[in-house]
Amino acid sequence: MSLMSIVSSRLLPKPILALLAVAAVLGLSACGDSHTKVNGGTYAGESGANAPYLDVGPLVYEVQLSRQLNPYDTEDSAYLEGLTPVQRRLGPGEEWFGVFMQVYNNGDTSQLAASPVSMRITDTQGTVYRPTILASTNPFAFRAGFVPAHGRLPELNTVAANGATQGSLLLYKVKLVSLDNRPLTLHLVDPLDPSKTASAELDV
């Protein structure tokens, strides 16, 4: 038993000790709340299980999953569909990294989603990565455009929405050294108001 426990048990009445214990349990459980709304700062998701809803302007973004991709894996090779030979080539010490995103529009009018080119990733050393733009033939790609009123991206009953990740893909070439400089952080910017931003720490 710790000194604090001994002092507490001798100095505090049992009802107060019981209340403190309940408060401690509630505090710990609150740390695991999922879908926490944030406008800025970071949040470390756990394979998408506790991914936050990120408010960026009139839209809400949610990272479903982020992970390294293996081009020789059957599932992962589909995410690389439509890349040109030049795009497909990885440099020394590079690896594919995918971020799968959902976007929600809870308003009554269509809204412009953030452009993929603006969705940068940084590591703890300040290295910046921007996504590889995927071909129009890739059914998983996150694309610039409008989200309809009370709609979402990817749209329901599409390949991306029905896929394993249920999100649209942002594809990055990331240096392996950056995986040692974690966490990687995704940065989002409202295309109509650059002052409105959010960020989220990513799984690796």
Per the model's pLDDT, the better-predicted residue between 161 and 47 turns out to be: 161
**What integer pLDDT is reported at residue 13 of this predicted model?**
53
Binning pLDDT at 50, 70 and 90, where does residue 204 land? low
- Residue 168: other Cβ atoms inside 10 A: 26
Determine the Cα–Cα distance for residues 43 and 201; give it in Å rounded to an integer: 5
Q: Return the percentage of the chain with pLDDT > 70, whole number.
A: 74
Fold of 34-201: Immunoglobulin-like (2.60.40)
The answer to whether residue 138 scores a pLDDT higher than 90 is yes
**What integer pLDDT is reported at residue 8 of this predicted model?**
41
Cβ neighbors of 143 (< 8 A, separation 6 or more) are 116, 168
Separation in Å, CA 107 to CA 60, 104, 143, 154, 194: 10, 9, 20, 17, 20
Determine the Cα–Cα distance for residues 82 and 171; give it in Å rounded to an integer: 12
**What integer pLDDT is reported at residue 50 of this predicted model?**
54
**What integer pLDDT is reported at residue 17 of this predicted model?**
42
Q: Which of 27-36, 70-79, 117-126 has the lowest mean pLDDT?
A: 27-36
pLDDT (tens digit per residue) in 153-200: 999 999 999 999 999 999 999 999 998 888 899 999 999 999 999 988
Sign (positive or negative) of CA dihedral 51, 144, 134, 180? negative
The answer to whether residue 30 scores a pLDDT higher than 50 is no
Q: Where are the domains of the chain?
A: 1-31, 34-201
Per the model's pLDDT, the better-predicted residue between 203 and 30 turns out to be: 203
> Please, which residues bridge with residue 99 across strands?
66, 170
- Say if CB 55 and CB 40 are below 8 A apart: no
Determine the Cα–Cα distance for residues 163 and 160; give it in Å rounded to an integer: 5
Per the model's pLDDT, the better-predicted residue between 160 and 41 turns out to be: 160
The answer to whether residue 116 scores a pLDDT higher than 70 is yes
pTM of the entire structure?
0.76
**Cα torsion for 90, 117, 59, 34, to the nearest 10°?**
30
Q: Which of 6-20, 44-58, 65-79 has the lowest mean pLDDT?
A: 6-20
Locate 162 and state its tokens.
């029905």
- Averaged pLDDT, 84-100: 94
Locate 57 and state its tokens.
């302007």
Mean pLDDT, the chain, rounded, equals 80
- Averaged pLDDT, 85-102: 94
